[in-house]
Amino acid sequence: MKNIAVLGATGLVGEEVIKILEQRNFPTKELFLFASERSEGQTVIFKDREIEVLSDYESFKDKVDLVFSCLDAPLAREIVPKFKNTAVVIDNSNAFRMDSEVPLIIPEINSEKIKEHKGIIANPNCSTIQMLVPLYYLHKKAKVKRIFVATYQSVSGYGRDAVDELKLEFEYLGMCQDIEKLERPVFSHPIGNNIIPQIGDFNEDGYTKEEMKMLNETRKILDDELIQVTSTCVRIPVICGHSEAVSVEFENALSPGEAKEILKGAPGVKLIEKSDDYPMPIHAAGHDEVFVGRIRKDLAFENGLAMWIVADNVRKGAALNAVQIAELL
């Protein structure tokens, strides 16, 4: 039985972590919940117990064995190191992902790396997780050489404020109001009835931070610095569920039929085989699996496949992956 803390307990990912801990009956002795001062005093029901949200993590810092950090990166960099000497921290931000001393873990892929931790284990980016879960099994057979991916990411990937912003814009659109005039605290452009081809700040080469995460994290997780990844990450007016159009070039030939046979029994994957059926965000919401469909030969590569990948970004893309890491611990 573990004493557990959830940092950022009232955010979308923090709430989902708490839900999954209960659903999967994780061996929890005592649960401590931390959030900002505006959430202090709120209560959360966990296994029929009412637990108060605290705004002072110092009060339980030395009492916990396991910490789920669901904080944004700046706050994670400040707080997470204060727990790592007395507990294991599974961090959901991008603060430590590329640290050479921090394992970056997808349990279906590189669980053996967990034992290398020095107090912190990083959860990958949601888009990287859902792309690599199915690709890993194909990589073992034919070896991935290049990946071209366009992501269509729901607003919940940003957080609750983005969900609220989209709902408000939908409400205004329903009343035939001009959403251009609305004050937007999250996005620099309207997201209702629109898509935004930018997630994160741009670098000097014109790629965003989100796009570079997919390259750098893929190389670290698959332990291969030669893999090439080009991505275009797009925010779409969907509340939950990320989708990805993925083209992969392999070193060795792999037919669509062979790929489907591999993915049929792959842990964490739900294969949609019919050519006239395909996964969509409404199918993935609330589910643990990464959904894969529309597998076909890529016409641009001799050894290439194209496919469509969908997952619940808050669940498998963040909270579930973190709890699965904890279960392996």
Please, which residues bridge with residue 253 across strands? Answer: none
Rounded CA separation 105/153 (Å): 21
Please, which residues bridge with residue 46 across strands? Answer: 49
Q: Exposed, middle or buried by CB within 10 Å (0-12, 13-18, 19+), for 303?
A: middle
Tell me if 155 sits within 8 A of 166, measured CB to CB: yes
User: How many CB atoms sit inside 10 A of residue 86's CB?
Assistant: 14
Nearest to 71 by CA among 46, 89, 50: 89
Check 117, 139, 233, 242 and give the catalytic one: 242
Q: Can 233 be counted among the known catalytic residues?
A: no
Check 126, 233, 240, 283 and give the catalytic one: 126
Q: What is the dihedral of CA 240, 124, 28, 241, to 10 degrees?
A: 10
Residue ranges with strand state E in 70-143:
88-91, 120-122
Q: Can 176 be counted among the known catalytic residues?
A: no
Give the 3-state secondary structure of residue 83.
coil
Residues with a known catalytic role: 126, 242
